Structure 1
Amino acid sequence: MSEATARTSVVIPAFNESGSIGQVVLDLLGSAPWHEVLVIDDGSSDDTAAQAASAGACVIRHPYNKGNGAAVKSGIRRASGAYILILDADGQHQPADASRLVSFLGDYELVVGARSPGSQASLARRGGNAVLNAIASHLAAHRIPDLTSGFRAARRDCLMEFLHLLPNRFSTPTTTTLAFLRAGYSVRFESIDAVQRRGVSKVKLGSDGIRFFLTLVRVITIFSPLRIFLPISVAAFSSGAGYAVWTIATQSHVTNSSVLLIVVSVVIFLIGLVSEQIASLRFEGRGR
């Protein structure tokens, strides 16, 4: 395990986390011999950078707040380790779990710290995450127990392949998980218990929940378009065909609405089919 951690760059995005970042860095450095610990200060207005530096981290500063995803991308670009460990700056992730996630990177390209339901912040957030997990599992055709966990370890070279796809806000975990699965990489979800965070969460359940869902749809559309287009096509075709049968039985003719729905369903299916071929070509090109 110590050999894996010695090859790992720890990336910690932080925005106004002066109350917790120092202890987070100290706990990490005391738990294992990491290759480096990078704290990306995303334009904080408090002394987050100073606290992180005094604890022993290498600090990268953004001149203004760009977003959690932008901070993660800055850390990945600056990291020099073969492996990357990403965790939050609020103290909810435990150092022992950090070493455990990294230890699986010999067999897996991505290891996600999947939070147990009881350790997630609130009932509302648990419910929202459960809905997102269920939708993501269906669209990705793979069980995803925790789509939005920011606690994850990955091979740096694999992360670099998808760096251009990562958003600048809070949807980076969603994008990386789905991208790795679609690329055929081995992904492990390792159960962890998150502790109570220090300070106030920067994630807003309403607006960020909608953003997570839209990102989920966008990423699936990029990597597996038919998972989106086919159900819509089937629904349109079923509606058109069903309406046609009803009008033939009751009015002895087929309406323009029925024909339009059936034509639209065929067009949507063809668009999905072409998009699926483009997605396949993208991944064939990635391996060359």
Structure 2
Amino acid sequence: LVVNDGSSDRTADILKALQAEFPGLHVIQHGVNRGYGAALRTGFKAAEHDVIVITDADGTYPEDRIHELVQHVRDGADMAVGARTGEDVNIPLIRRPAKAALRHLASYLAGTRIPDLNSGLRAMRKDLVMAYLPILPNGFSFTTTISLASLTNGHRVDYVSIDYAARSGRSKIRPIRDTLGFVALIVRTVLYFNPLKVFYPVAGFLLLLVLGSTYYDMFLVESAPNLSDKTVLLFVAWVQVLSLGMIADLIDKKSRL
């Protein structure tokens, strides 16, 4: 099953030739470019089997490892991801620091180590994907979102180390803009499924500021001990963040009933 997301090159012609050679090849055409996630959504809806494998068509992922990923799902995993941690991984050096920072942030918020956050080679149960399909985006962040949604909800996600070939052509990733977008996406996704993971660290930081400011006001200021406006505002901010976290957690728990 191939989804052509409105490609403007010779992709459509090549797919027609492949269909003539392989009659079982099912091709779905998007009239316009709708985005990476939109192409996956179309493919998931059209897929007829209970285990789905996704990969890119640019030759960067080792398709000969697909059977391993499928076997992990057959053995009980909800999702098996080809983690680009092998000996021959061709990711531009300029993108590696940002990817590592995003991976560590996501690992902390999800509460588990994530070797590869947005690998495009993975096998998964169709019912898992369909359960989260309404919240999955149409853009490049599709795989990141489904990874975080699965991990924060306790699904079993296995990782298989793979190589990653050099990509030909120009990437559509915009380093600064997309990195900031991924940070927002990670926080928003974890906030949706496990809000306390986001609110508690912020509340803890504010509490430290409140205690430090209180100590300064009471013991280090030469005038009579008195709480400053700054300390009061920090205390109010701490109470508000803590309260919002608890309310968000209650809403999350109620929505799961």
TM-score, length-scaled by structure 2: 0.92
Query: Which residue of structure 2 lines up, in the alignment, with residue 181 of structure 1?
Result: 151
Gaps of 5+ in 2: none
1:158 matched to 2:131? The reply is no
Question: Which of 154, 164, 170 is residue 194 of structure 1 equivalent to?
Answer: 164
Question: Which of 43, 52, 65 is residue 33 of structure 2 equivalent to?
Answer: 65
Task: For 1:145 and 1:68, locate their aligned partners in 2 and report how far apart those are by CA, in whole Å.
Answer: 22
Query: Which residue of structure 2 lines up, in the alignment, with residue 112 of structure 1?
Result: 81
CA deviations over 1:120-155 (Å, ceiling 9, x no partner): 421122221111110011001000011021111100
Task: For 1:157 and 1:266, locate their aligned partners in 2 and report how far apart those are by CA, in whole Å.
Answer: 40
Q: Which has the higher contact order (CA 8 A, sep 6+)?
A: 2
The answer to whether the Cα contact below 8 Å between 1:87 and 1:152 also exists between their aligned partners in 2 is yes
The CA deviation at 1:90 is 0.9
Where does 1:82-101 land on structure 2 (aligned, <5 Å)? Answer: 82-101=50-69
Q: Secondary structure at the match of 1:202?
A: coil
Query: Which residue of structure 1 lines up, in the alignment, with residue 234 of structure 2?
Result: 261
Task: For 2:194 and 2:26, locate their aligned partners in 1 and report how far apart those are by CA, in whole Å.
Answer: 39
Question: Which of 246, 252, 256 is residue 279 of structure 1 equivalent to?
Answer: 252
Query: Which residue of structure 2 lines up, in the alignment, with residue 27 of structure 1?
Result: none
The CA deviation at 1:176 is 0.5
Matched residues, percent identical? 36
Query: Which residue of structure 2 lines up, in the alignment, with residue 226 of structure 1?
Result: 196
Return structure 1 stretches of 4+ with deviation > 4 angstroms. Answer: none
Aligned residue identity for 2:42: S
The CA deviation at 1:102 is 1.0
Query: Which residue of structure 2 lines up, in the alignment, with residue 39 of structure 1?
Result: 2
Task: For 2:16 and 2:85, locate their aligned partners in 1 and report how far apart those are by CA, in whole Å.
Answer: 32
The CA deviation at 1:201 is 1.9
1:134 matched to 2:137? The reply is no
Gaps of 5+ in 1: 1-37
The CA deviation at 1:261 is 0.8
Query: Which residue of structure 2 lines up, in the alignment, with residue 123 of structure 1?
Result: 93
The CA deviation at 1:47 is 2.1
Aligned residue identity for 1:214: A
The CA deviation at 1:188 is 0.5
Q: How many residues align?
A: 247
The answer to whether the Cα contact below 8 Å between 1:120 and 1:126 also exists between their aligned partners in 2 is no
Task: For 1:114 and 1:205, locate their aligned partners in 2 and report how far apart those are by CA, in whole Å.
Answer: 21
TM-score, length-scaled by structure 1: 0.82
RMSD, aligned CA: 1.4
